[in-house]
Amino acid sequence: MKQVTVSAPSNIALIKYMGKIEGSGNKPTNGSLSYTLENLRTFVRLTEIEGGADQWKPFVREDLQKIELSEKGQQRFIRHLQNLKDKWGVKKSFLIESANNFPSDCGLASSASSFAALTLAAAEMFQQINPQPWGADKKYLSELSRQGSGSSCRSLFTPWALWQHEYAEPMGLEFKDLHHMVVIVEDSKKEVSSSEAHKLVTTSPRFEGRPERAEMRLKDLSNAMRFNDWHLARQIVWDEFIDMHRLFETSTPSFSYMTDGSKKVLEDCQNLWNKWQDGPLVTMDAGANVHLLFRNDQKKQFEQYREHFKKDFKVLAFEGVKDNVH
C-alpha cells in the first residue's frame, strides 16, 4: 500500500484576501501578500486503501496535536481530494490523516496549512500513480490548492507569497527570518467562518472601493519593504487589517471578531510603539487574536513584548531562525 506523509506551513496575510469572485473556485477580488509561518504546520498522511469511499481520520503521532474535524470540515477536505484525483485521473481510494503541530484550541485557523498539506501530499502520491507533466509545478499546485481554500495557495511559498489571480508566487522582499508572536485573546471557535465573512463583506457600503484600497496598499507595502522602510510598512499593515475589520462591522448583518482583549492588545502595541518609536508589524485575521511580526534584529523587543503580554494572555512565540520542524 502506498503511503506519503507531508507537512505544510500556515501563513499570515499582511494585505488581506477578503472577498471572492462568486463561483470562481476562490479567485480573490484583490491581490494579497503573506508571510509564511514555518513553525505552524499541518501534517497529512495519505494512504492508499482497498476500494470504498475516501475517509478522513485524525493523524495520531506523539509530536502532533490531535484535531477533530466537524463532519462538514471532513467533507470539504474529502471533496478537495476528489478534485485532485480528478485532475490526475486517479481512481483509487485513500485514507487522509491530518494533525497540526500547534494546539487546535487556541483560535488559530489551520485551513491554509491543511489544504496546502493535502494538495502536496496528493501531488506526491499521484505523481507515483499517474505522473503528469505539471504535477511538480509549484504554481499549478498553488492554483489547485486555492480551489480547496483560497489562503492555502500562499502556503506553498516562503517566506513571502504574493497571490493575485490564479495562484500565488514567491516574492523577494528585504525582511526575512521574522520573529512571530500570537497573542491569544480568544481560544474558542469563531462564530462567523471566513467563508461566510467573504460573502457578508460584499454587503458593506465600504466594499465599494475595497479592492482598489487593498491593491494600493499592496503596491505601497511592497515599495516600503523594498526601501527598508519598516515604519511605513507597519502603518500600511495596520490600516489594512483595520479596513478589513471595518468591513465586518458594516456588513448586513454586521459582525465582529474584535473583543475587549483584542482592543487592549492593540492599544498596548500602539503605546509601546509610541514609547520606543519602533516595534512589530501588527495584524489580525478573521479572528480575535493579534499577530505580531518582529524584524530579526528586534529580538530584545520580541522578548519584552512576550513578557508584557504573558501577564494577561496566552502567548505563542517563535524565534525567526531556521527551525527543524519540517
Q: Which residues bind ligand PMV (CB under 6 A)?
A: 13, 16-18, 32, 111, 149-151, 194-195, 198, 285-286
C-alpha–C-alpha distance, residues 325 and 293, integer Å = 20
> Given the complex with ligand PMV, which of 29 and 111 has the nearer CB atom?
111
CB of 33 to ligand PMV, least distance (A): 9
> Given the complex with ligand PMV, which of 9 and 150 has the nearer CB atom?
150
> Given the complex with ligand PMV, which of 111 and 147 has the nearer CB atom?
111
The CB-based long-range contact list for 61-70 (8 Å cut-off, 24+ gap) reads: 61/99, 63/101, 64/99, 64/100, 64/101, 65/99, 65/100, 65/101, 65/102, 65/103, 65/104, 66/99, 66/104, 67/98, 67/99, 67/100, 67/104, 67/110, 68/104, 69/98
Cell numbers standing for residue 8? 505544510
CB of 18 to ligand PMV, least distance (A): 6
> Given the complex with ligand PMV, which of 98 and 149 has the nearer CB atom?
149
> Given the complex with ligand PMV, which of 179 and 291 has the nearer CB atom?
291
DSSP bridge pairs for 182 = 291, 316
* Residue 247: DSSP 8-state: H
CB of 204 to ligand PMV, least distance (A): 15
CB of 60 to ligand PMV, least distance (A): 26
DSSP bridge pairs for 168 = 163
CB of 325 to ligand PMV, least distance (A): 21
> Given the complex with ligand PMV, which of 4 and 265 has the nearer CB atom?
265
What percentage of the chain's residues is helix, strand, coil (to nearest 5)?
45, 25, 35
CB of 240 to ligand PMV, least distance (A): 10
